[in-house]
């Protein structure tokens, strides 16, 4: 028999039983009949019956019988109290006007008070019994600590304790508040401060630490991660309050997640002006080349959210194009006019056909070969795809009156030491040559490495960690700028929304990150200890690789924009005639199929292109 079906009835009958027993015991101890005759019992019965009736009516009014007392908090007990006061007042009025039982008010008040205390005791005893049963039969409990004894931390504790299937048990809170340290919340001690985290973990080992306090600095998160890693303690966190508010999941525990690597980059994520982006894209036909890639596909997702006329995705790799097509169709259906074109930007005639067919207002050019070591082995491919492909697209955009052309560039284009970086720098120069007499606005946006993009270091590290190591880095001195895919896409869109033409836009990306520290943090996030459980080894710099990257050619010529996170780098003028001369030099070198001659030609057309050894030798 499922006893839970009769929960309300059982509580109701127990309440009646308690009220009758308490009043009769009280009557035996303090008889109300001027002696010991039993007539007092007959006068007491209607009194108690009225007493019970008033109690039931009031408690049903306050819906206390609908409460699940194993989850009860202060509000449930407060409603029970209000019901008791209300029923007692009603009882006094009815007893005085209808019954005239002769039972004194003092006796009635005593009976009511003791009954109420016993009813509270019954409910609290049941709750404690439930806790005891759960703790007795729950196997393999996972001990955790909650960092932050604020409202969210307390709510998380309450959910853990009330959730029947939960295998976790909270050992203590950790907080920096002097007022809270040493106190107890729901009988759980508050310890601290955070700076003593190492000693706290040693004194009472836990398996997991849950962060519930608002987002802290990357330095504090790194300290927590390192300390917990050394103690073999997993770290998880709650999202910020705004994310929780907007989320569909109301259960706080289900929102607990692992710390993301971007939260350890040393800066807050950059958010840009969405309203300006929406106005810029409104009712436009947008073309995205390389739309199936990491940056390109995120651009398509962001663009699809706005009220555009049509989105055209151009990609040579049909699998990627198909995946983003299916994703957007599933999200927007017929609300979004979407066209997929499988084509290569090397095909000049095809690019002109696509311009004629779709007449785009805006082009976001993300198609490119980007892998540095691969392009060192195949320099002709970087030149044909990145340089000549961009040139074809730029010429087609101007011919068909595109309003704005946005090139996705890279920090590797700044004082390049690789064929890939030099090819992207040449692409920027092509845009510079269009500054004087073109009606189309040509702009480039330059940023650092993108977390989680195809071929980036993060997925490689994660795969190596999943396999038990070792994690390989080329050189422990390497530093890089990082941003998220969402940030990169927003920056590209924000750049497009700005009015200036033929400029290079740069994001303020904070301080560069050491790759060695990135690897260590990823290992810690996986719950392992760097060097002891998962080794990290150096493999040596790859061809064309630079120890550090730069975002600017010349810091002194930086121009601020209305967005304090975006800057414009001043570019020297370059003529179309110069670009054509440089293209002829490259074309001649490509015909030789000689790596040496192609590399020499690149250094000739991109004057600041240097060998990596020449740059890296100056780094300590």
pLDDT digits (tens, 9 = 90+) for 63-77: 666 655 555 556 666
State how far the alpha carbon of 8 is from the alpha carbons of 65, 69, 77, 393, in Å: 6, 11, 16, 73
* Residue 592 contacts residue 394 (beta carbons within 8 Å): no
Asked if residue 605 has pLDDT above 80, the reply is yes
Contacts from 600-604 at CB under 8 Å and sequence distance 24+? 602/379, 602/383, 602/419, 602/422, 602/423, 603/422
* Dist CA 340 CA 325 (whole Å): 7
* Residue 230 contacts residue 222 (beta carbons within 8 Å): no
Q: What is the DSSP letter of 334?
A: G
* Residue 481 contacts residue 551 (beta carbons within 8 Å): yes
Measured N-to-C along each axis, helices 485-497 and 294-304 cross at an angle, to the nearest 10 degrees, of 60
Q: Percent of the chain at pLDDT above 70?
A: 76
Asked if residue 588 has pLDDT above 90, the reply is yes
Domain ranges of the chain: 3-135, 142-259, 274-612
The CATH H-level (homologous superfamily) assignment of domain 274-612 is: NAD(P)-binding Rossmann-like Domain (3.40.50.720)
Task: Summarize pLDDT for 127-160 with one digit per residue, the tens.
Answer: 666 666 655 555 567 888 999 888 888 888 888 8
Asked if residue 35 has pLDDT above 50, the reply is no
Catalogue the E-assigned strands of 194-264: 208-211, 234-237, 257-258
* HEC sequence for 457-470: HHHHHHHHHHCCCC
502-518: average pLDDT: 77
Asked if residue 115 has pLDDT above 70, the reply is yes
* Dist CA 411 CA 188 (whole Å): 51
Other residues' Cβ atoms within 10 Å of the Cβ of residue 403: 16
* Dist CA 487 CA 298 (whole Å): 10
* Residue 366 contacts residue 293 (beta carbons within 8 Å): yes
| Bridge partners (DSSP) listed for residue 143 | 169
Task: Summarize pLDDT for 152-203 with one digit per residue, the tens.
Answer: 888 888 888 776 567 788 889 999 888 899 888 888 899 988 889 988 888 8
Of residues 413 and 16, more confidence is placed in: 413
Q: What is the DSSP letter of 240?
A: P
If DSSP codes are grouped into helix, strand and coil, which group holds residue 30? coil
* β-pairing verdict for 513-514 and 566-569: unpaired
297-320: average pLDDT: 94
* HEC sequence for 150-179: CHHHHHHHHHHHHCCCCCEEEEEEECCCCC
The listed range with the strongest mean pLDDT (239-243, 315-319, 508-512) is 315-319
Residue with tokens 């924000």: 494
Give the model's pLDDT for residue 244: 44
Task: Summarize pLDDT for 512-555 with one digit per residue, the tens.
Answer: 788 888 888 888 877 788 888 899 999 888 777 777 666 554 55
* Dist CA 331 CA 275 (whole Å): 21
Q: Which two tokens stand for residue 562?
A: 């209305």
* Residue 495 contacts residue 531 (beta carbons within 8 Å): no
Give the model's pLDDT for residue 259: 72
Band (412; pLDDT cuts 50, 70, 90): confident
| Least-confidence region, from 268-282, 314-328, 513-527 | 268-282
Q: Percent of the chain at pLDDT above 90?
A: 29
Residue with tokens 């301080």: 511
State how far the alpha carbon of 296 is from the alpha carbons of 222, 293, 327, 407, in Å: 31, 5, 14, 11
Asked if residue 14 has pLDDT above 50, the reply is yes
C-alpha count within 13 angstroms, C-beta hemisphere, residue 135: 11
pTM of structure: 0.68
556-570: average pLDDT: 68
Q: Which two tokens stand for residue 254?
A: 């289900």
377-381: average pLDDT: 94
The residue among 11, 21, 4, 24 whose CA lies nearest residue 122 is: 11
Give the model's pLDDT for residue 1: 46
Band (359; pLDDT cuts 50, 70, 90): very high
* β-pairing verdict for 234-237 and 257-258: antiparallel
Do the domains at 142-259 and 274-612 have one common CATH topology?
Answer: yes
Other residues' Cβ atoms within 10 Å of the Cβ of residue 5: 8
Quick one: CA dihedral 497, 498, 499, 505, positive or negative? negative
318-339: average pLDDT: 93
Give the model's pLDDT for residue 542: 77
How many residues are present in the chain?
620
pLDDT averaged over the chain? 80
- Give Cα 295 to chain centroid, integer Å: 18
Task: Summarize pLDDT for 333-354 with one digit per residue, the tens.
Answer: 889 999 999 999 999 999 999 9
Task: Summarize pLDDT for 226-263 with one digit per residue, the tens.
Answer: 788 777 788 888 876 544 444 454 567 677 777 777 66
| Least-confidence region, from 72-86, 268-282, 394-408, 466-480 | 72-86
Of residues 218 and 519, more confidence is placed in: 519
If DSSP codes are grouped into helix, strand and coil, which group holds residue 435? coil
Where does 142-259 sit in CATH, by number? 3.40.50.720
Band (284; pLDDT cuts 50, 70, 90): very high
Of residues 38 and 442, more confidence is placed in: 442
The residue among 17, 107, 106 whose CA lies nearest residue 55 is: 17
């Amino acid at each position: 028999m499922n006893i839970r079906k009769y929960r309300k009835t059982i509580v109701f009958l127990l309440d009646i039983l308690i009220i009758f027993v308490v009043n009769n015991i009280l009557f035996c101890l303090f008889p109300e009949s001027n002696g010991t005759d039993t007539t007092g019992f007959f006068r007491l019965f209607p009194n108690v019956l009225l007493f019970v009736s008033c109690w039931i009516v009031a408690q049903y009014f306050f819906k206390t019988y609908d409460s699940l007392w194993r989850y009860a908090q202060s509000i449930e007990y407060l409603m029970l109290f209000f019901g008791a006061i209300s029923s007692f007042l009603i009882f006094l009025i009815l007893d005085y006007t209808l019954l005239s039982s002769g039972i004194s008010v003092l006796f009635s008040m005593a009976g009511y008070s003791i009954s109420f205390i016993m009813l509270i005791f019954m409910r609290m005893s049941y709750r404690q019994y439930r806790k005891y049963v759960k703790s007795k039969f729950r196997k393999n409990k996972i001990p955790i600590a909650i960092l932050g004894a604020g409202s969210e931390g307390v709510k998380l504790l309450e959910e853990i304790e009330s959730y029947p299937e939960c295998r976790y048990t909270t050992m203590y809170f950790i907080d920096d508040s002097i007022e809270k340290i040493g106190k107890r919340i729901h009988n759980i001690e508050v310890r601290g401060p955070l700076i003593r985290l190492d000693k706290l973990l040693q004194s009472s080992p836990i398996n997991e630490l849950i962060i519930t306090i608002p987002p802290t600095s990357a330095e504090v998160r790194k300290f927590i991660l390192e300390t917990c890693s050394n103690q073999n303690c997993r770290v998880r966190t709650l999202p910020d309050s705004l994310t929780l508010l907007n989320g569909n999941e109301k259960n706080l525990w289900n929102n607990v997640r692992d710390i993301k690597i971007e939260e350890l980059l040393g800066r807050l994520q950059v958010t840009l002006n969405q309203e300006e982006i929406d106005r810029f894209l409104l009712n436009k036909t947008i073309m995205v080349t390389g739309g199936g890639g990491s940056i390109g596909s995120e651009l398509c997702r962001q663009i699809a959210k706005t009220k555009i006329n049509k989105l055209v995705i151009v990609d040579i790799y049909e699998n990627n194009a198909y995946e983003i097509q299916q994703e957007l169709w599933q999200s927007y259906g017929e609300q979004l006019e979407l066209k997929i074109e499988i084509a290569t930007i090397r095909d000049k005639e095809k690019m002109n056909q696509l311009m004629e067919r779709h007449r785009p207002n805006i082009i976001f050019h993300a198609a490119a070969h980007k892998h540095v070591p691969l392009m060192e082995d195949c320099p002709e491919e970087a030149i044909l795809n990145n340089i000549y492909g961009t040139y074809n697209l730029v010429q087609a955009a101007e011919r068909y009156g595109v309003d704005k052309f946005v090139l996705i560039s890279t920090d590797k284009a700044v004082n390049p030491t690789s064929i890939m970086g030099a090819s992207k720098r040449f692409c920027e120069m092509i845009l510079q040559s269009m500054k004087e007499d073109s009606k189309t606005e040509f702009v480039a946006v330059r940023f650092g490495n993108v977390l989680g993009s195809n071929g980036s270091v993060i997925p490689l590290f994660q795969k190596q960690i999943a396999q038990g190591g070792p994690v390989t880095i080329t050189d422990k001195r390497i530093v890089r700028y990082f941003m998220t895919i969402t940030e990169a896409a927003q920056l590209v869109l924000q750049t497009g929304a700005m009015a200036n033409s033929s400029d290079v836009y740069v994001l303020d990306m904070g301080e560069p990150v050491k790759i060695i520290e990135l690897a260590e943090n990823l290992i810690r996030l996986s719950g392992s200890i760097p060097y002891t459980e998962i080794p990290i080894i150096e493999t040596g710099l790859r061809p064309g690789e630079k120890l550090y990257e730069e975002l600017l050619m010349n810091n002194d010529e930086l121009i601020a924009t209305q967005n304090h996170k975006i800057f414009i780098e001043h570019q020297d003028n370059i003529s179309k005639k110069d670009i054509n001369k440089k293209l002829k030099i490259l074309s001649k070198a490509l015909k030789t199929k000689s790596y040496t001659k192609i590399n020499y030609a690149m250094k000739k057309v991109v004057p600041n292109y240097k060998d990596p050894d020449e740059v890296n030798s100056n780094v300590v």
